[in-house]
Amino acid sequence: MAKIDVIEKFLRYVKIDTQSDDTTGTSPSTMKQHDLAKLLAEELTQIGASDVYYDKEHCYVYASIPSNLDDGKDRPAIGFVSHMDTSDEVSGKDVNPRIVENYDGKDIVLNADEKVVLSPKDFPELSNHIGEDLIVTDGTTLLGADDKAGVSEIMTMAETLLINPDIKHGEIKIAFTPDEEIGAGTAFFDIDKFGAKYAYTVDGGKLGELEYENFNAAEGNITVHGRSVHPGDAKNKMVNAALLCYEFHSLLPAFQNPMYTEKREGFFHLTEVKGGTESATASYIIRDHDEKLFAKKKELFMAAGDFLNKKYGEGTVDVEVHDQYYNMIDKIRPHMHLVDNAKKVMIELGITPIDSPIRGGTDGAALSYKGLPCPNLCTGGYNYHGKYEYASIQEMRKVVDILLGIVNAYGIDY
């Protein structure tokens, strides 16, 4: 069987800046995401994929690999989805990856001038990669493994199948999406054009992770209308909007905060505060795996605004809460073969499956609610959204094996 190296693709893709931006109000949110979309569409065509379609307006890429089985069995088309954009938390421009061969368990100096060090003291997970080859950043940008690792792994799977016709398989569908990092990855996703009955997103982390449960998510925003008065004459007159933002925050449970939560524990996360005495705003994300606890969190958020309005006068604080996505578990339960088959493949490859509730969301959560059951698979990437991001070469190659195993499970083994 001819081998395709996933790492060569990954190192090319991460050099393309695809950072999304939640402030533009456009789809895609940044035009530079088209740079990778066009490249992927061209590569899919070159390797012989069918039905390659590049949505030039909204920046989606779709493709198919036809079944090469002729036994007359009715098999579902299986899809694989990854997103092209990277987080807006840290720059994704001029990414300069390097490979640390045979990692020895010690500190990795990413950038000596900036004193940026990837250390197992701060990231204990590094100790699990001793002897592996790691792809790291130069300490000035993120790496982009979220989710160009997934993109690379899907592309490698596709090319492997297309240049090795002796590998028998059913119909495979592929899609790459924009704007996942800002929660808009499926806004214009065409499920009918995609054509899969079931799918997997390839957007997780540690090798073996298999995620089919995620947060219920909402966005919360407050706007505070203060009253600016000269501080020398402010007694009983001034209403400091910025301070009221912090008073609002003090009304939320102190330990329901990302800093103190894990696993299925939800939180309120203050993401931004802006303003001064006259006016101020604060933005939050609200998360919980449990539907009832999620509802209570939203009620508490609204109640904090009501309390301040009673204290300082109606109209002082405006509060808005908008749902973003929901826990996919209810949509996956009727189709647990997706989970069972992925676990079986991992075990056959000597990989321990890790049932891991997602402390976030994926395109798969939204797609599941749109009628396409879609759990999430690992990629071999770590420390996403920052300059300490890294990926394991050995794990990325094993993820390609997982994808090929799933293809087999829904092909000749189905």
The annotated binding site is made up of: 83, 146, 181, 203, 385
Strand, helix or coil at 199?
strand
Among 55, 179, 180, 395, the active-site one is 180
Distance CA 250, CA 175 (A): 43
Distance CA 34, CA 124 (A): 36
At position 285, the amino acid (one-letter code) is I
DSSP run (H or E) holding 283: strand 279-288
Tokens at residue 314, please? Answer: 């109606």
At position 91, the amino acid (one-letter code) is S
Q: Tell how far CA 24 is from the center of its chain.
A: 20
Assess contact for 29 and 83: CB atoms under 8 A: no
85 is catalytic: yes
Binding residues for Zn(2+): 83, 146, 181, 203, 385
355 is catalytic: no
Assess contact for 152 and 399: CB atoms under 8 A: no
Angle, alpha carbons 23-19-129 (nearest 5°):
135
Tokens at residue 326, please? Answer: 């929901």
Strand, helix or coil at 222?
strand
Among 85, 153, 209, 401, the active-site one is 85
Q: Which residue has the tokens 């001064």?
A: 276
Strands 108-111, 116-118: pairing kind? antiparallel
Residues with active-site annotation: 85, 180
